[in-house]
Structure 1
Amino acid sequence: MELQQLRYVLAVAETSSFTRAAQQCLVVQSALSHQIARLERELGARLFDRTSRRVRLTAAGAAFLPAARQCLDAAERAAAEVAAAVGEVRGRLAVGVIPTVAAVDIPAVLHEFHRDYPRVRVGLRVGASEELVEQVKEGTLDVAFLGLPATARPEGVRSHELARDRLVAVVSPGHALAGETAVDLARLAAEVFVDFPAGTAGRAQSDQAFAAAGLTRDVALEVTAADLMARLIQQGLGVAMLPSAYAPRLSGVVTVPVIDAPARVEHLVWSRFSSTPAATAFLDGLGVRADPAG
């Protein structure tokens, strides 16, 4: 069994096509097909069902895939560790971010990192805080930027607090609250809300604040992207509560301070276990130590 064969299997699984997989791997299709067939003979099982219309994993292929990924990740990490030992950082860096990250200028940070470590392949994934934490635990992500209620802490990962912030009300320019100097939760509870999906950390901070005040509210629109949230607010379809440091990035809306607003804390998290050289370099660039004492 060879690493290149594993790469070919992963490429076919990801693209559902031998043709596209060959293009992705920069190899002729006949060579890729030959290597996968050779691997299947060695394993004694077919990894893919092939028809004229599509390619899909067999049960054996689905069982083989996670271990194949682990083998390739381990090989890549081994090469990165050797490179780091001779003073070169390379490999991959997988970064996760929430849509409303405000404590760090993510594009600028990634630009600087790429400039300093051009041989590291950087990947970026946007998601909800709870999803990103799980992906860091699983090793899918190396680091992630989260936003959590002040009452919560990231669990099962190492973390560094980046910033604390409070939420503000976000309304359309024509809304009755747009000219107010401040508002409270009791007044906001009368409004229809646009918010993140129920159960997410972005939603929890507002839900907890209204519940603690003995108030209920109507969340009519649930979205995952803050820019879509702003566009809905512009059309007068609802109001929202977003971090004060992030809200000014949205155009066409007005922010109003909330007297009894909930707090939000942004965290940087990474694995509890040993970090890759690329992840360590990334954390160093942010002034964060990757080791347990950091």
Structure 2
Amino acid sequence: MDLQQLRYVVAVAETRNFTRAAEHCRVVQSSLSHRIAGLERELGIRLFARSSRRTELTSAGEAFLVGARECLAAAERAVADAAAAAGVVRGRLAVGMIRTAAAIDVPELLQRYHARHPDVRVSLRAGSSDELAAAIRNAELDIAFLGLPEGQRPEGVEAIVLDHDEHVLVVPAGHRLASASQVTLHEVAEETFVDFRDGSPGRAQSDQAFAAAGLARDVAYEAGVAELITRLIARGLGIALLPSAFIRPLAADDPELALVPVVDGPHRIEYLAWSRFNPSPATRALLDVLGAGSQA
């Protein structure tokens, strides 16, 4: 058994197709199939169930895949650690970010990072804060930019505070409150709301504020991204509370939206989070670019 065979198994498992897996690995299909068949003979088990139309992992293949990925990750880390010891940062860096991140200009940060460490392959993944924190704990991500309600910290990861922010009310330009100097939650509780999905940290920020004020509200529309929320608001389908640092630049160029300060509205804290367990050289290098290297 060798690492190349493990790479082939992972590629077939992810593509569920020997032809596409061979293309991904940049080898001819016959060579990839031969190597996997040889591995199956060595192990004495079938890793894949094959037909002319389908390829799926067997139960044994699913169990083997976990260890195969761990072995490949360990091999990559060994190479990266050796390079780092020689003063060169290499390997992979998996970065996660919430879609409403505002404390850090992530594309600009990655540009600076790439200029310093061009040998690191960076991947970027968007998601909710709870999903991204779980991905760090599961070693699927190295580092992530999160946003959580005030008083709540990311669990099971290292984290530093990047910024504190407050929400503003976002309404259609023709709404009765569009020209108000400020509002309270009590004044808007009877309105129809657009918000993030129930149970997400983005939704919890507003839910907790209304609960603390002893108020209930009607969330008629749920959306996974803030851009869809603002489009629904612009069509007059509801109003929303969104982080001010994120929404102000967008609303400044959108005549269909108006922003109103909220006296007792939600607050959120943006965090940078990474694994507590032995951060990779690539992760430490990103922390250095951010000026947070002493935290690792």
TM-score by length of 1: 0.97
Moved over 6 A (4+): none
Report how far residue 153 of structure 1 moved.
1.1
Distance 2:115 2:228 in 1: 32
Report how far residue 289 of structure 1 moved.
2.5
Distance 2:181 2:172 in 1: 15
2:100 aligns with: 100
* Structure 1 residues 45-194: aligned runs within 5 Å: 45-194=45-194
Distance 1:24 1:72 in 2: 16
Match of 1:280 among 276, 284, 291: 284
- Letter aligned with residue 271 of structure 1: S
- Letter aligned with residue 259 of structure 1: V
Distance 1:19 1:112 in 2: 37
- 8 Å contact from structure 2 (residues 169, 241) kept in 1: yes
Distance 1:249 1:92 in 2: 32
Distance 1:38 1:175 in 2: 68
- 8 Å contact from structure 2 (residues 285, 293) kept in 1: no
Secondary structure in structure 2 of the residue aligned to 1:246? helix
Distance 1:258 1:62 in 2: 51
Secondary structure in structure 1 of the residue aligned to 2:179? coil
- 8 Å contact from structure 1 (residues 280, 290) kept in 2: no
Deviates more, 1:248-257 or 1:237-246: 248-257
Match of 2:275 among 271, 274, 278: 271
| C-alpha distance after superposition, 1:219-248 (max 9, x if no partner) | 011111111111111101111111110012
Distance 2:48 2:41 in 1: 12
Report how far residue 176 of structure 1 moved.
1.3
1:4 aligns with: 4
CA RMSD of aligned residues (A): 1.0
Listed as ranges, the gaps of 5+ residues in structure 2 are none
- 8 Å contact from structure 2 (residues 16, 56) kept in 1: yes
Report how far residue 51 of structure 1 moved.
0.8
- 8 Å contact from structure 1 (residues 8, 21) kept in 2: yes
* Structure 1 residues 18-33: aligned runs within 5 Å: 18-33=18-33
- Letter aligned with residue 191 of structure 2: E
Secondary structure in structure 2 of the residue aligned to 1:160? strand
| C-alpha distance after superposition, 1:152-178 (max 9, x if no partner) | 011211110000010101111121111
| C-alpha distance after superposition, 1:259-289 (max 9, x if no partner) | 1112100000111111100000001101112
- Letter aligned with residue 184 of structure 1: T
